[in-house]
């Protein structure tokens, strides 16, 4: 038995096998988006009265405080997941995490937290439809700057959501749109993260709390540091800006390897 057989017992998949692989991630995103959208439209419609009544009985959704807590907590979780996705995508290509992270795990984890952040963003937006204190309609949630509450910063958050969704979805379409377009679209994820940070800080009801300010400042500075470090590597010529395809990782934030 050769040395290659010992170190790599399973042959690498061929190009045809990869092309025929079922895009389970893309199917999951499409299915989840359809389900969340359908539920949201149903709850907001007159036909959703019975469902709203059932939710109120099961989870006390007729209480303003319960809905408010869900909106706040889902927003915090979505922001932290988006930050982790962005920071992860910057750290891996910069090889900062190579000492304690194996490359074979970074890609799958990055995709997971990217999709998970979209899930909590969807929950954050969905619960606003049943908020009793300041109820939203579908157009106010999906169309930027129509919000009755701080329309500028809520609109910035809506745009950040669309950018995040675009970057995540295009990963599964990179074979069709080409790696160059895929790479440039991924660069916009930094804009999405900055927009999400501005939305969270300027429209969040907890932004006045010292712990919230510390969290926003700390996470933002981490992304700034990783971005500057990655740009420094590119400028020094130690990190290539063009590759044929990402092998071990990509990112929903920004990826010089994508």
**Maximum Cα interatomic distance, the chain, rounded to a whole number of Å:** 70
| Domains of the chain: total | 1
Is 8 within a domain?
Answer: no
Is 4 within a domain?
Answer: no
Is 219 within a domain?
Answer: yes
Which region holds residue 150: left if phi is over 0, alpha if psi is between -120 and 50, else beta? left
User: Which residue ranges in the chain fall short of pLDDT 70?
Assistant: 1-34, 36-37, 40, 43-44, 52, 55-64, 97-105, 237-258
Q: What is the pLDDT of residue 243?
A: 43
Is 85 within a domain?
Answer: yes
Residue 127's domain comprises: 23-236
Burial of 250 from C-beta contacts in 10 A (0-12 / 13-18 / 19+): buried
Q: What is the pLDDT of residue 230?
A: 84
Is 253 within a domain?
Answer: no
Q: What is the pLDDT of residue 161?
A: 94
Is 177 within a domain?
Answer: yes
Is 46 within a domain?
Answer: yes
Q: What is the pLDDT of residue 202?
A: 95
Residue-wise pLDDT for 107-127, tens only, equals 777 778 888 899 899 889 988
């Amino acid at each position: 038995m050769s040395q290659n057989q010992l170190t790599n017992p399973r042959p690498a998949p061929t190009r045809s096998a990869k092309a025929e692989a079922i895009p389970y991630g893309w199917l999951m995103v499409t299915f989840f988006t359809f389900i969340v959208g359908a539920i949201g439209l149903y709850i907001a419609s007159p036909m959703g009265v019975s469902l709203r009544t059932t939710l109120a009985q099961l989870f006390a959704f007729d209480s303003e405080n319960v809905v408010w807590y869900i909106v706040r907590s889902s927003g915090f979780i979505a922001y932290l997941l988006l930050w982790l996705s962005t920071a992860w995508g910057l750290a891996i290509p910069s090889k900062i995490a190579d000492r304690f992270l194996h490359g074979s795990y970074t890609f799958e984890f990055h995709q997971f937290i990217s999709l998970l952040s979209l899930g909590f963003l969807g929950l954050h937006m969905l619960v606003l439809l049943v908020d009793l204190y300041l109820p939203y309609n579908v157009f106010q949630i999906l169309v930027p700057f129509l919000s009755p509450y701080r329309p500028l910063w809520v609109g910035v958050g809506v745009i950040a959501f669309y950018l995040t969704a675009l970057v995540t979805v295009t990963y599964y379409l990179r074979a069709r749109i080409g790696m160059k377009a895929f790479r440039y679209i991924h660069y916009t994820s930094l804009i999405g993260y900055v927009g999400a940070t501005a939305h969270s800080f300027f429209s969040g009801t907890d932004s006045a709390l010292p712990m919230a300010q510390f969290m926003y400042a700390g996470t933002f500075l981490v992304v700034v540091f990783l971005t500057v470090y990655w740009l420094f590597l590119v400028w020094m010529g130690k990190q290539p800006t063009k590759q044929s395809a990402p092998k071990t990782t990509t990112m929903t934030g920004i990826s010089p390897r994508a």
